[in-house]
A and B are shown apart, each in its own frame.
Chain A
């Protein structure tokens, strides 16, 4: 087990997913953004501009490293080379936080560059926990594990997702990353209450919240099918779900993810401003008792 460390090391303030095209504006005036998240795999080259920019950013901002390629939910053993690269990046950067996904992306030596779903069973619970133990030992710190967006379910699943995540956190000591947009997407696609999901989620283990935009489609039966695209602004019902979450969790680091059709900096900063408002409204109000 890694040494116990605080799960909340990022500021309880807005952050954004870092995009290189915003470098100059962020360095000049990032307000209201107080921290940045990077995708680990984009900073695993040997040198050049990406690492030079990251070095500058890390002097000014708390940085969260977000892995998108470890395949923690994979049936196959974790990629030793990739673990070594993560260890190297985390040792070099000493980020405020490291997070990864409850998903898989690698099978039979091939990487599919997407976050693929897994059933929630006794067998997958054991496997995911083993992988998280291995990662946390490698990077010598606890990680945060993020809830996925779901487009379908597995007939074989025997755990609800919040229970599955809470059990993983209990067994491995990892924290959780709650993506509120993913909750909204999954709840819409699979007809459950997003507020009920938040109520069941281990908010006390949650070290970071994500928000992002999604696309709208429909399934074969005309049922809404939302797709987690990170290609547009956060929608109002997701902002409302953030308020609902923060009322129960208290202040948390809140990240805006906008990875495709990346907007100009003022547009992204305006999204961060809205997250800042949600956090400040919270401190202005007397905290509401948690409804069990």
Chain B
């Protein structure tokens, strides 16, 4: 056998092996990754393990600031470490990362005494969605005021892509406010229905009564203003649309009025 034949073929490191070792610190550093003296890379590989974990953890911190505040940074770091290994991003758009985080929180038995966490995370995701939603030109209140009552009741509304409604068994908007606003009242128990609008660039979550929510949800499903009014009045006989209509107008949520038809 010649010397040349004895020369070892350098180890090849494919990206599957690199990824497995990167995401599991219990695995050996792939042979074939070396330092300047051709010695095994060892601790140098930990830079990649650390970069990935830190950058995804930071993405979860910035995507779920209220969850981070509720849990504390150290607990959030620990949870993020578990989450990012179970659910690494499926897209390079970090603005969408964490869609599975609410269900992940719901499934953590250690957090079962904080049953509201999943829904607070859902609210934070919805606010993030609203922040990046497509722009749309809202209609002015005068457009509605110019309609006769019959025409208005027969009209259907079109809504901005940022607008969303979130229903929770928990006081999620109150919890969110208490953790983001200085003078916000302490949350009381009870379910909340939250309307999210984006009047300018900053999404706003506001609480709706069940009848207000019924009216807006009927409109979203394509009912006319009058038909939606009937739905809302089945919940609350004295329902008045002026308050939720004002919320929608101030929130820039109404972007079209479809007369009749």
Residues of A within 8 A of B (CB): 41-42, 44-52, 68-71, 74-76, 79, 81-82, 85, 104-114, 116-117, 119, 151-156, 189-192, 217, 219-221, 223, 225, 227
Q: Does B131 sit at the interface, judged by CB under 8 A?
A: yes
Instruction: Pick from B14, B201, B202 the residue with the most CB of A within 10 Å.
Output: B201
Q: Does A46 lie within 8 Å of B133, measured CB to CB?
A: yes
| CA gap between A155 and B134 in the complex, in Å | 48
Q: Does A189 lie within 8 Å of B44, measured CB to CB?
A: yes
Contact of B32 among A69, A71, A156 (CB under 8 A): A156
Q: Which of B66-118 contact A (CB under 8 A)?
A: 88-95
5 closest cross-chain pairs (CB), A and B:
A69-B92, A45-B132, A155-B10, A46-B134, A47-B135
| CA gap between A223 and B39 in the complex, in Å | 12
| CA gap between A191 and B45 in the complex, in Å | 17
Q: Does A156 lie within 8 Å of B12, measured CB to CB?
A: yes
**10 additional contacts (CB under 8 A) given A48-B131, A114-B55:** A41-B95, A48-B130, A110-B90, A116-B18, A154-B32, A155-B11, A155-B38, A156-B12, A191-B36, A192-B36
Interface string of B223-235 (1 = CB under 8 A from A): 0000000000000
Chain B residue with Cβ nearest A218: B43
Q: Does B201 lie within 8 Å of A44, measured CB to CB?
A: no
Contact of B92 among A70, A107, A154 (CB under 8 A): A70
Q: Does B133 lie within 8 Å of A112, measured CB to CB?
A: no
Interface string of B156-174 (1 = CB under 8 A from A): 0000011000000000000
Q: Specify which chain A residues have a CB less than 8 angstroms from the CB of B10 in the assembled complex.
A: 154-156
A-B residue pairs in contact (CB < 8 Å), sample of 26: A42-B94, A45-B93, A47-B136, A47-B161, A48-B130, A50-B132, A52-B135, A68-B92, A75-B14, A76-B15, A106-B92, A112-B22, A113-B55, A113-B89, A117-B48, A119-B12, A151-B41, A151-B45, A151-B48, A153-B35, A154-B13, A155-B34, A156-B32, A189-B44, A223-B36, A225-B43
Q: Does B56 sit at the interface, judged by CB under 8 A?
A: yes
Q: Does A190 lie within 8 Å of B88, measured CB to CB?
A: no
| CA gap between A114 and B202 in the complex, in Å | 29
Residues of B within 8 A of A (CB): 10-16, 18-19, 22, 32-36, 38-39, 41-45, 47-48, 51-52, 55-56, 59, 88-95, 130-136, 161-162, 198, 201-202
Chain B residue with Cβ nearest A104: B15
| CA gap between A107 and B22 in the complex, in Å | 12
Q: Does B36 lie within 8 Å of A153, measured CB to CB?
A: yes
Could you tell me the distance in whole angstroms from the C-beta of B100 to the nearest C-beta in chain A?
A: 13
Check A47/B19 contact, CB under 8 A, given A113-B52, A156-B32, A219-B43.
no
Check A48/B92 contact, CB under 8 A, given A112-B52, A156-B12, A190-B35.
no
Q: Does B43 lie within 8 Å of A42, measured CB to CB?
A: no
Q: Does A113 lie within 8 Å of B56, measured CB to CB?
A: yes
Q: Specify which chain B residues have a CB less than 8 angstroms from the CB of A223 in the assembled complex.
A: 35-36
Could you tell me the distance in whole angstroms from the C-beta of A117 to the nearest C-beta in chain B?
A: 8
